[in-house]
Structure 1
Amino acid sequence: MTVQTTRRNFLRGGAATAAVLIIGSRPDGAVAAASGDKAMFNPFVKIDAEGTVTAIIKHFEKGQGPATGLSTLIAEEIGLRMDQIEYEFAPSNPKIYNNLAFGPFQGTGGSTAMANSYQQYRTAGAAAREMLIIAAAQSWGVEASTLSIEEGMVTGAEQSAPLGEFVAAASSLEAPAAPRLKDPSEFRLIGNAEVRRVDSVIKGNGTAQFAMDVHLPNQMVAMIARPEQRGGLVRSFDDNGSKEVMGYINAATLPNNAGVAVYAETTWAAMQARDALEVEWDLDAAEARSSDEIHSEIMAALEAEPQYNVSKTDLAATQSAIGDAAQVVEQAFYFPLLAHAPMEPLNCTIEATADGGVILHDGAQMPTGPHFALSQILGLPMEKIQINTMLAGGSFGRRATPDADYQTEAALAFSMTDRSRPVKLVWSREDDLRSGYYRPAFGHKVRVGLDADGAIVGWEHRIAGQSVIKGTPFEAMIVHEGIDHSSVEGTADTAYDIPNGFFGLTDTPKATTTLWWRSVGHTHTAFVMEVMMDMAAKAAGQDPIEYRLGYLTGGTKDQQRLAAVLKLAAEKAGWGNVAEGRAQGIAVHKSFGSYVAEVVEISGNADSGVKIENVTCVVDCGLPVNPDVIKAQMEGGIGYGIGHVMRDQITLTGGAVDQYNFPDYEPLRISDIAAIDVHIVPSAEAPTGVGEPGVPPAAPALANAIAAASAELRVSAMPMVENCVDFV
C-alpha cells in the first residue's frame, strides 16, 4: 500500500514554549502537520515541547498488539527507543482514522491493523523526523543531511541535543512532500525479537484501565433482562421483587421492547434486582428451533442442488469426472454454533458532558457504529459525541457487531433517564453466552475422485450454513451475486491446483444471531479442505505433505509461500520421526494475507485418550514487525482454534441457549497443550495479519493427527468430545 503525501503549512501555536508538533493525516490519507492549537486534527504522532512522543493508535487493543506494533513503526522512523514513546487511542473520526480495508469506517478487525497502517505510521514518523532535523539544522547552521536522530537525540556536526528542543522551531516549517522512509538495513526496532509489548507492565501491575474499570462519580449500573429466546419482546414486567433489593433504583422497558433495563447503585444490586424481576415475554416471533432441527436443515441443504455456484464451474462435468474415477473419497462435516466468550464481559459507560454532549467509555472495536447509534438514539449531532476507546479484555469479533448491540442498549438505557447520572451497562458472562452472537453453524459435503495413481480428477464441495454478512452494512462490500464470501473463503479460492473443482453454497435460516468469529469462514473451510487433502493422500498411498506439495506447483506466489511454510513446518516438527505411541497431523492454510502451516503431535488415541504433546507452527506474515507479538498471536490462535473443537458448542432447546458459563462452555486449559513452537519466516513482503491466521490450521492438524493414531478415525462433527474422542 502506498500513501501519498502532500505539502501543508504548519499552523503556529500560541507560544513557542507550548508548541506541539502534530503529524497526522487528512481524510484522503495524506500526511499533514499542525501545531498545538489544532490538537483535534487527529494525528498519528504528536510531540510536545518536552520531547514526549505519543503514537495515536487508530486500532483498538484487545490483546492482539497494535499499540505495540504501530508505536514501533513511529519509534523506528523517528529514531527512538521503545521506552521513549507513549501511546493513546484515537478519537472516533472515520474521516481521519478510517480502516483502509473497510472504506469510510473506523474499526479493527480482519487482521488488518498492521496491513493497512504500516505505511501510514511509518510515513508519519518519517515526516516528524525530517522536520525536527531541519529545525535543528537551521538552529545550528549546518546541512540537514549531516544530522540524524538516535535514541531521541538529534546528533551530528559535532553537536547533540534532545529532540524536544526543536519542537517549537519545527512548528513553523512545512511537512515534507515525501519523507524518506528508512531502508530495512537501518531498522533497529522493526523485526527485533527483543522488543516487548508497550502495555505489558500496566497489565502486569494492574494499572491498565479496561472499560470494566470505569467507575464515574454518581454513576448507575444498568443490566438488561432479555428473553431466553432470541427475538422475544417485552409484554409487561413486575418489579415488586426488585424493590426489595438494596441499591435498586428503577426498571423500564427499552424503547425497542427487546428487554427491560434495571438500574441500581452497584453491579451486584443490578444483578440481584434483575433476577427478582418478573417479565412476561411475547415469543411469537422468537427463535424456537432446537439444535437438532438446525442440524437437520443444514445437512438436508447439502443434499439439494446448491443455491449458488461459487466456483462458476459445471457441476455435471465435475460429477462426471468423479463418476469415472478409480476411487472416491467422501465425507460430510458439521460445525455447531460457537460463542466468542472473551474474558472481559461486554460493558460500556455513557456520561453527559457540560456542553450537552456525551462521552462513551468503551473497548470500542468499531467506533463508527456506536458513534452513529448514539447520535440517532440520543438525538445529538456527531460532534457532540466523544468515544473514549479503552483497553478490551478480548473480543474475537464479539465487540464488533453490525448493529452496535451493547452500545445501543447502553444508549437506550441512558436515554430513559434524565441524563444527570452516568449509566454503566454491564453484561454478565451468562448474558453473553445465552443472549449474545455466535459463529454460525455450517455443514460441508465433499466428494473427491482419484485416478489409478491417486491423483485428483474431480472435487465436488457443497457448503450450507448461515450468512454473517447478509442484512448488515457490509453486505454491499462482501456479498456479490448473492454469495457471502465469508461463508466460502478458503474453498473455491484455494491455492491448490484442483482439476474439475466445483464449490457450491446454500444459505440456511440463521439460528439466533450470527456474527464473525476469530478467522470467520476459515474456521470451518480450512478444516474441511485440510482433512479432505489428508484423506485423499491416504487413499493415494502418499505422504500427506508430499501430496499437498504436488498441488502447489503452479508457480503462483500463494503456492510458493504455502509450500515454503509447509516444508519448514515438516522440518521443524521432525515430520515422520516420532516416538512410538505418538502421531502427527499437518494442515496449511492462507487467511488474511498470511500463510500458516501447523503440525500437531499427539500421544495416545481416541480410545485411550489423546494428549496434545506439541504444536509446531510456521507463519509467513510478510515483514515481521514485532516477532514477540506474532509469536504470541500464533500461540493464542492455536489455543483458540483447538480449544473450541475439543469441547465447545452452543446448543439450543426450543430456541433457548443451553450453556451458561465456563463450566459448560469450557475454555482451553494451559494443560491441554504441552508445548507450542512458533517459527516466523523472514520476509521483505508487506506485513499481513497475525491475529486470526493461527486459528484455521490448528483444528484440522489435530484431526489429522487423531486419524493417524486411531485407525483412520475421521472426526467430522464438532466438538470432538461429542464424537468419540477423549482428551487427557
Structure 2
Amino acid sequence: MTLTTSRRRFLQGAAASTVLLVGMRANGVMAAASETTDINPFVRIDATGRVTAIVKHFEMGQGPSTGLTTLIAEELGVTMDQIDYDFAPSNPQVYNNLLFGTFQGTGGSTAMANSFVQYRNAGAAAREMLIAAAASDWGVDESTLDIVAGQITGGGKSAPIADFVASAVSQDVPAEPRLRTPDEWRLIGKEGAVKRKDTAVKIDGSGTFAMDFHFDNQLVVMIAHAPRMGAVVKSFDDTDAKGMTGFEMAKTLPDNSGVAVFADTTWNAMQARDAIVVEWDNTNAEMRSSDTIRDELIAGVEMGEATYQTRGDQIDTANAISGAAKVIDKTFYFPLLAHAPMEPLTCTIEPIADGGVVLHDGAQFPTFGHMTLTQVLGLPMEKVQVKTVLAGGSFGRRANPTADYNLECAMAFALTDRSRPVKLVWSRDDDIRGGYYRPAFAHRVRVGLDEAGQIIGWDHRISGQSIMKGTAMEPMIVHDGVDHSSIEGVADTVYNVPGMSVGLTDHAKATSVLWWRSVGHTHTAFVMESMIDMIASETDTDPLELRLSMLPGKTPAQTRMAGVLNKLAELSNWKAGAPDGQSRGLAVHHSFGSFVAEAVDVSGGGDDAVKIEKVYCAVDCGIAVNPDVIRAQMEGGIGFGIGHVMRDQITLTDGEVDQTNFPDYEPLRISDIGAIEVAIVASADAPTGVGEPGTPPSGPALANAIARAGGPRVTMLPMIDEVEFA
C-alpha cells in the first residue's frame, strides 16, 4: 500500500500535541513557542484549533473574562464560541498591570485600559503566524489570506487553523503585527455580538469559586479576630471546644492578632470558634466611638489652616469670598462603609509534592498573596503558585495591599505540620465587623458668588483617613505628603472653577481602611455635585446648563464631560422635565478615565416617603468593547452607590463595630430602584474604566432629586437619618 500525505497533514500528525503559545518572555519581548517552553502566553491554541485567552485580570463579575477574550477573538479571527479563557498564573514580570508598575492585579477600573493593545497585539501576532504558515504551505502571498471564524481563507484555498498550529510555532513572531481597523471589527463594540463567557458556569454551578475548594484531609480554619483595631491576644481558653465534633486544635496566630481554630468542616470550625473564650489586651486598641470620630473629622475642616494645601492659595480664595455677594457654606460627613461582597473572604493553601504550595484564591492582587506566602512560609517565589478562580464580588476588598486574609491563611498553615491543605473561611459577620472599610471623611465648602451669580471663590477643605500611607502603594499615590486618593475628584476637577483652593488634613485611623468601589470619588463627587446643584438653585439656573457653562471645552476632558451631559439630556428628555408628580436630580463626574452623567427621578419628598422611579445614565468610556458588559457595570455601580448612600454606615462603640450582617448593614434591594436606562456615547478614544465610574454620580444625583422634591438637602450620610424611603 502506498500512503500519500501533504506536508501540512504530516506536521499535524507528527505533532498532534503541539500547542501554539503567543505571549511574552521575561524580558518583555513578544515570543511564541510550544508548551514545552517557559513562555508566558496570552494566547494558547491547541492542535484541534481550540483557542484559550490567558486572562491576567481576575473575574469578580466586572467582565474581563469576556472583554479580554473578545480582543483575542477579534484580532485572531475566531468566533466567541471558538475561544475559552483561563486565568493567568502569578507572574508579575509578564502579567503585571501596566498601569500599576510591577504588580499583577486588578483594580482601579484598569483591566481594559491596560490590556486593550497588549491583548490585541497577541491575537494579531498569532493570526499572522498562522497565516505565514499557511502561505508557505500553499505557496501564496500572505497578504491574500485572512482568518475568518477559525478558517484561514484566500488564494482560492481554505483550511481550519488547526491544520497550521504545528508549523506556526516555528514562524517568526511579528514585532508589530497589524491590528484590525475599526471597520473590520466583528465583535468589538457590536451590540449583541458577544455573550458573557462567565455567565453559563455561574448559572449551572460548574464555575469554581474560592469557597468551593475542599481537598481530602483538609483542615478548615476560622479566626477569632480582635474586636478592636490594635487589640492583641492576651490568652484564650478552648476547654469548651475540646471534644466538639470535628475540632482539631486552636492556636494563637504568630502576630497575636487572633486565635486560629481548626476543624474538619466550616460549620464545625465556626461552632468551635464560638466556643473558645479569648481575653484581649486593649493597651494599644482603638477606643473611640463614631460620634467622636465624626466630631474630630468635622473639626478638621473648619477654616483653620489645612495640613496640606493641594490646589490654589488659601488666602487669595478667602479674600475673594470675603467680598462675595452671596456665600454658600456647607459641611458634609461620610461614614465608614464595608465592602460586603456576596462571597466572604476565603482561600486555601495546598501543599504539593515538591515542597511548595498552591494558593487557591479569587486573587484580585496575586502579587501581594504570592509575596506574603513566600515570606511567611520561608519559600522561594518559584515554590509558591497562585491559582486564581472566580470571586463572588470584591469592590476592592480582595485587593488589600497587606494581603490580610492570605496572611492569616499562611500563618495558620504554618501552625500545622504543613502536610494537609488548610482552608481559611471568613463569615459575613467577620467581614462586616472585622474587615477593612471605606474611610470616613468630612468636607467643608464655602463658595462665593458675585452679584451676577458667578463663582468668584471656592474654598474646599477635606479631612479623612489616608488609605495609601503606610502601604506598598504609597510611592505611587502619595506625593509631597498628599494621598491623592483623598482629594481625587476635587483638586483635579474637570470643571472650570474660578478661585478654587483645596486643603487636606489627615486624620488618625479608627479602623483598618481600604479602597472601596471608586475610592475617593465616593465622597468627592457627592460634595462637588451637591454644591453645583445648590449654586444652580441659589441662582435660579438650570442645573444642566450651569454645568455646561463650567465646561467651556478648553480641554478634551471638558469636551467629553459636556458630551455625556448632552447625551443624558437627550436620553432623559431633560427639557421636558420629570414626569408629573416626580422630581429630577442630576450629577456628572469624571473618574478612572471615564465620564458618567446620571439623572434620578423620584416621587414623594417633603412629607412623603421618597421612591426612586428611574435612573438615566450616559457614559463615555472610550471604545465600547462589550456594550452589554458596560451597561451591566453602570447598572451595578449605580445600585451600589445609591444603596450605600441611602442607608449604610459602619459605626463604632468604644472602638467595636456595631453592625454584624445584612439585617443591620442592608444592601440595595431590587425594589429600591424602579428602572435604569443606560446610553453609551460613541467614541474612538482608547477604552477606559467601567467597573467603578457609575458609582460616584449616583449618590449626588439622588440627593439633588430629593432636595428638588422638597426634601432636605442631605449632607450627612446615610440619608436614612433624614429621609424616609418607600
Give me the TM-score of the superposition, normalised by structure 2: 0.97
Give SS of 2:625's match.
coil
Match of 1:566?
Answer: 565
Match of 2:707?
Answer: 707
Deviation at 1:18, TM superposition (A): 2.0
Q: Distance in 1 between matches of 2:553 and 2:425?
A: 53
Deviation at 1:114, TM superposition (A): 0.2
Match of 1:236?
Answer: 235
Match of 2:546?
Answer: 547
For each residue in 1:33-57, what CA deviation from the matched residue of structure 2 results, as whole angstroms up to 9, or x when unmatched? 121211x421100111111100000
Match of 2:3?
Answer: none
Match of 2:650?
Answer: 650
Is 1:679 matched with 2:679?
A: yes
The answer on whether the counterparts of 1:13 and 1:37 sit within 8 Å (CA) in structure 2 is no
Q: Distance in 1 between matches of 2:707 and 2:14?
A: 72
Q: For 1:339-354, what aligned pairs fall within 5 Å after superposition?
A: 339-354=338-353
Match of 1:262?
Answer: 261
Match of 2:582?
Answer: 582
Deviation at 1:15, TM superposition (A): 5.5
The answer on whether the counterparts of 2:600 and 2:612 sit within 8 Å (CA) in structure 1 is yes
Match of 1:422?
Answer: 421
Give SS of 2:300's match.
helix
Match of 2:295?
Answer: 296
Is 1:183 matched with 2:181?
A: yes
The answer on whether the counterparts of 2:639 and 2:668 sit within 8 Å (CA) in structure 1 is yes
Deviation at 1:606, TM superposition (A): 4.6
Match of 1:138?
Answer: 136
Match of 2:8?
Answer: none
Match of 1:3?
Answer: none
Match of 1:6?
Answer: none
Q: Distance in 1 between matches of 2:176 and 2:550?
A: 44
Please tell me the residue identity of whatever aligns with 1:53. Answer: V
Q: Distance in 2 between matches of 1:663 and 1:23?
A: 50
Is 1:23 matched with 2:22?
A: yes
Q: Distance in 2 between matches of 1:408 and 1:179?
A: 42
Please tell me the residue identity of whatever aligns with 2:666. Answer: E
Match of 1:727?
Answer: 725
The answer on whether the counterparts of 2:12 and 2:47 sit within 8 Å (CA) in structure 1 is no
Deviation at 1:158, TM superposition (A): 1.8
Is 1:307 matched with 2:307?
A: yes
Q: Distance in 2 between matches of 1:209 and 1:45?
A: 22
Change in Cα spacing, 1:22 to 1:501, as seen in structure 2 (3 Å) is same
Q: For 1:294-693, what aligned pairs fall within 5 Å after superposition?
A: 294-303=293-302, 304-311=304-311, 313-575=312-574, 576-693=576-693
Q: Distance in 1 between matches of 2:385 and 2:117?
A: 27
Change in Cα spacing, 1:606 to 1:283, as seen in structure 2 (3 Å) is farther
Q: Distance in 1 between matches of 2:413 and 2:618?
A: 48
Match of 1:4?
Answer: none
Match of 1:8?
Answer: none
For each residue in 1:516-575, what CA deviation from the matched residue of structure 2 results, as whole angstroms up to 9, or x when unmatched? 000000000000000000001111111111011111004210100000101111221122
Deviation at 1:14, TM superposition (A): 13
The answer on whether the counterparts of 1:13 and 1:36 sit within 8 Å (CA) in structure 2 is no
Deviation at 1:159, TM superposition (A): 1.6
The answer on whether the counterparts of 2:33 and 2:170 sit within 8 Å (CA) in structure 1 is no
The answer on whether the counterparts of 2:577 and 2:584 sit within 8 Å (CA) in structure 1 is no
Give SS of 1:302's match.
coil
Give SS of 1:310's match.
strand
For each residue in 1:51-85, what CA deviation from the matched residue of structure 2 results, as whole angstroms up to 9, or x when unmatched? 11000000000100001000000000011110100
Give SS of 2:502's match.
strand
Deviation at 1:607, TM superposition (A): 2.5
Q: For 1:36-75, what aligned pairs fall within 5 Å after superposition?
A: 36-38=35-37, 40-75=38-73
Please tell me the residue identity of whatever aligns with 1:108. Answer: T
Match of 2:124?
Answer: 126
The answer on whether the counterparts of 1:14 and 1:37 sit within 8 Å (CA) in structure 2 is no
Match of 2:114?
Answer: 116
Please tell me the residue identity of whatever aligns with 1:595. Answer: F
Please tell me the residue identity of whatever aligns with 2:590. Answer: K
Deviation at 1:139, TM superposition (A): 1.2
Match of 1:5?
Answer: none
Please tell me the residue identity of whatever aligns with 1:349. Answer: T
Please tell me the residue identity of whatever aligns with 1:505. Answer: L
Give SS of 2:536's match.
helix
Give unmatched runs, 5+ long, in structure 2. Answer: 1-10
Give me the TM-score of the superposition, normalised by structure 1: 0.97
Please tell me the residue identity of whatever aligns with 1:716. Answer: T
The answer on whether the counterparts of 1:351 and 1:421 sit within 8 Å (CA) in structure 2 is yes
Deviation at 1:192, TM superposition (A): 1.5
Match of 2:78?
Answer: 80
Change in Cα spacing, 1:14 to 1:362, as seen in structure 2 (3 Å) is farther
Give SS of 1:418's match.
coil
Deviation at 1:368, TM superposition (A): 0.5
Of the structure 1 ranges 319-328 and 621-630, higher mean CA displacement relative to structure 2 is found in: 319-328
Q: Distance in 1 between matches of 2:187 and 2:553?
A: 36
Q: Distance in 1 between matches of 2:607 and 2:290?
A: 27
Q: For 1:145-294, what aligned pairs fall within 5 Å after superposition?
A: 145-194=143-192, 195-294=194-293
Q: Distance in 2 between matches of 1:692 and 1:577?
A: 28
Deviation at 1:580, TM superposition (A): 2.5
Give SS of 1:334's match.
strand
The answer on whether the counterparts of 1:369 and 1:404 sit within 8 Å (CA) in structure 2 is yes
Deviation at 1:26, TM superposition (A): 3.1
Please tell me the residue identity of whatever aligns with 2:633. Answer: Q
For each residue in 1:318-365, what CA deviation from the matched residue of structure 2 results, as whole angstroms up to 9, or x when unmatched? 111111111111110000000000000000000101000000000000
Give SS of 1:243's match.
coil
Q: Distance in 1 between matches of 2:175 and 2:232?
A: 58
Q: Distance in 2 between matches of 1:80 and 1:492?
A: 45
The answer on whether the counterparts of 1:224 and 1:262 sit within 8 Å (CA) in structure 2 is yes
Identity, in percent, stands at 63
Please tell me the residue identity of whatever aligns with 1:174. Answer: D
Q: Distance in 2 between matches of 1:465 and 1:14?
A: 66
The answer on whether the counterparts of 1:31 and 1:123 sit within 8 Å (CA) in structure 2 is no
Please tell me the residue identity of whatever aligns with 1:571. Answer: E
Q: Distance in 2 between matches of 1:463 and 1:15?
A: 68
The answer on whether the counterparts of 2:19 and 2:46 sit within 8 Å (CA) in structure 1 is yes
Q: Distance in 2 between matches of 1:554 and 1:134?
A: 47
Q: Distance in 2 between matches of 1:579 and 1:491?
A: 33
Q: Distance in 2 between matches of 1:101 and 1:13?
A: 40
Give unmatched runs, 5+ long, in structure 1. Answer: 1-11
Deviation at 1:27, TM superposition (A): 4.0
Please tell me the residue identity of whatever aligns with 1:704. Answer: N
For each residue in 1:364-399, what CA deviation from the matched residue of structure 2 results, as whole angstroms up to 9, or x when unmatched? 000111111100111100000000000000000000
Please tell me the residue identity of whatever aligns with 1:78. Answer: L
Q: Distance in 1 between matches of 2:26 and 2:599?
A: 44
Q: Distance in 2 between matches of 1:709 and 1:125?
A: 53
The answer on whether the counterparts of 2:21 and 2:35 sit within 8 Å (CA) in structure 1 is yes
Change in Cα spacing, 1:28 to 1:555, as seen in structure 2 (3 Å) is farther
